Amino acid sequence: MKPKVLVTRQIFPEALALVSKHCEVDSNQRDVPFSPPQLLKKLQRKDGLICLLTDTIDDKVLAKSPQLKIVSNVAVGYNNIDVNAATKRGVMVTNTPGVLDDTTADFTWCLILATARGLVEADKYFRSGKWKYWGVMQFLGHDVHHKTLGICGLGRIGKGVAKRARGFDMRILYTDAQRANPIIEQELRATFVDKKTLLQESDIVTLHVPLFPETTHYISASELKLMKKTAILINAARGPVVDEKALVKALKEGWIAGAGLDVYEKEPKPAPGLTKLKNVLLAPHAASASVDTRLKMSRMAAENCVAGLTGNRPPNLLNPEVLRAM
């Protein structure tokens, strides 16, 4: 008898076909998120779960799904899953690491350029029919070339952003919990500094830190006040690393010039007042949204799930101690 798998949201047909070869699949291809009671009901008698960041898999859900053997997240991040609780209950947890690094680095540069040059507001103005003639003082933004880029978190995505910055002849500063290898610093032409120095000297600050308790509100009012009034803040990491209420105040009062966001503290709702501001660019958590990357993510999640349900080690297992306990 084939193991039963629940897929909570729409994924690529190729990934569904892969799972269907080995499992009996219940797929929510309508792409409307389940409510918590619906999720619990759907998980009854399921051996595997393929889910998204929008699905909260906590100990309550795991306790009421005793047959569940694996939770396969279609994402790199997994703060929607209580991994410790899953481990205690013998449930494998997987994610899709590495697959979206370049795509997210590309999108970070979309945010940087569009925010610095006010592209979205210019587009709106043109579409409205208000633009009648060219003028020297119209649509003034900020240059990116030869400016200072501050990268908070020089992981895989941060390195990708730094590599792309070389084409703009930028001065690159970075800060991280640990300093990078000197060879990497030389290759990227990046200089390690403390957080305060980075914030004070950078024209563009881009965030690529993981979400941990210690990085929650990594950027708050005190950090925003350290930044240049002409600086812009970019966040394509995790929403809670920025204190959104403080950011709204900073943008309103001109502490900084602008911001480009792809993630939010309480998705999908932004902080009050954020959407009314013209000096912020808002994207709907779309950094990995290319056909190639989202297809790879779907396939990887499917492969993880199938491996876990057919007696094999999932390629991207987050809690290998579960296997040792079996």
What distance in Å separates the CA atoms of residue 69 and residue 22, rounded to the nearest whole number?
Answer: 15
Alpha carbon distance 82, 121 (integer Å) = 40
Q: How far apart are CA 93 and CA 71, in angstroms?
A: 5
212 φ, ψ to 5°? -130, 165
C-alpha–C-alpha distance, residues 229 and 298, integer Å: 41
Q: Quick one: 253 exposed, middle or buried, by C-beta within 10 A (0-12, 13-18, 19+)? A: exposed
Q: Is 238 a catalytic residue?
A: yes
Q: Which two tokens stand for residue 184?
A: 């990497």
CB 7 within 8 A of CB 19: yes
Coil, helix or strand for 53? Answer: coil
Q: How far apart are CA 47 and CA 67, in angstroms?
A: 6
The Cα 94–Cα 322 span in angstroms is: 12
Query: How far, in Å, CA of 284 to CA of 155, rounded?
Result: 23
Give the active site residue among 238, 244, 299, 303.
238
What DSSP string describes 159-178? HHHHHHHGGGT-EEEEE-SS
By residue count, the chain amounts to 326
* Sheet strands side by side (includes 190-192): 190-192, 171-175, 148-152, 204-207, 232-235, 258-261, 280-282
Q: Which of 306, 295, 238 is nearest to 92 (CA)?
A: 306
Q: List the catalytic residues.
A: 238, 267, 285
